[in-house]
Structure 1
Amino acid sequence: MSKEFKVGFKNAQETSEFCAKIKKYVSGDVDAKSGRYVVNAKSILGLLSISIDEMSISMDVYTTEEIDTLERICEEYKVEA
């Protein structure tokens, strides 16, 4: 199962907080996409290397619990489409 969320960050501090939460609460692989670039969402350097204004966060998971956790984290940084 794959799920995608649109998020954006105002500054590097928000990006760092998001990255820390993903690392702490989500055990699966999480990708961040901006344009044609895809980086590991658990990597602060990866996230800062792409546009932080708006990106897609996606995860291929095996449990709905992981999706729910990721959704709660992404909700704080949600970008309206």
Structure 2
Amino acid sequence: MTSVTISLNSIEKVKQFVNLISKYDGDFDLTSGRYVIDAKSIMGIFSLDLSKPLKLDIYSDQTASVLMMHLKEFVV
């Protein structure tokens, strides 16, 4: 498992993030405080406090290595 801290502080960034991560197979979770949601769920993301950084958990190491190159604009 790979974890990275990201920021999704605008509606446009949330849309871009969900479109990007939906292209990959596997499980992805976003954590904010004690709340954990599916990172592919746009409704779930909007239920979180987006003013604070979020922790993204990527459960496939093969996917993580490729995905990390595309997540640069979101990484804090």
User: What TM-score, normalized to structure 2?
Assistant: 0.89
Structure 1 counterpart of 2:68, which letter?
A: E
SS at match of 1:5: strand
Structure 2 match to 1:73: 70
**Which residue in 1 is equivalent to 2:8?**
9
SS of alignment partner, residue 22 of structure 2? helix
Percent identity of the aligned residues?
27
Cα 1:52–1:72 shift into 2, 3 Å: farther
Which consecutive segments of 4 or more residues in structure 1 shift more than 2 A? none
Q: Identify the residue that residue 43 of structure 1 maps to in structure 2.
A: 41
Shift of 1:70: 2.2
Q: For structure 1, which segment, 46-55 or 15-24, has the greater mean C-alpha deviation from structure 2 after superposition? A: 46-55
Give the structure 2 partner of residue 31 of structure 1: 29
- After TM superposition, give the deviation of residue 29 of structure 1 in Å: 0.7
Question: What is the root-mean-square deviation of aligned Cα atoms in Å?
Answer: 1.2
**Is the partner of 2:71 in helix, strand or coil?**
helix
Instruction: Specify every segment of 5 or more residues in structure 2 that has no aligned partner in the other structure, as ranges.
Output: none
Identify, as 1 or 2, the structure richer in helix: 1
Q: 1:32 and 1:59 mapped to 2: Cα distance?
A: 9
Between the two proteins, the alignment pairs up a number of residues equal to 75
Instruction: For 1:58-69, list aligned pairs within 5 A.
Output: 58-61=57-60, 63-64=61-62, 66-69=63-66
For residues 56 and 39 of structure 1, what CA distance do their matches in structure 2 show? 11
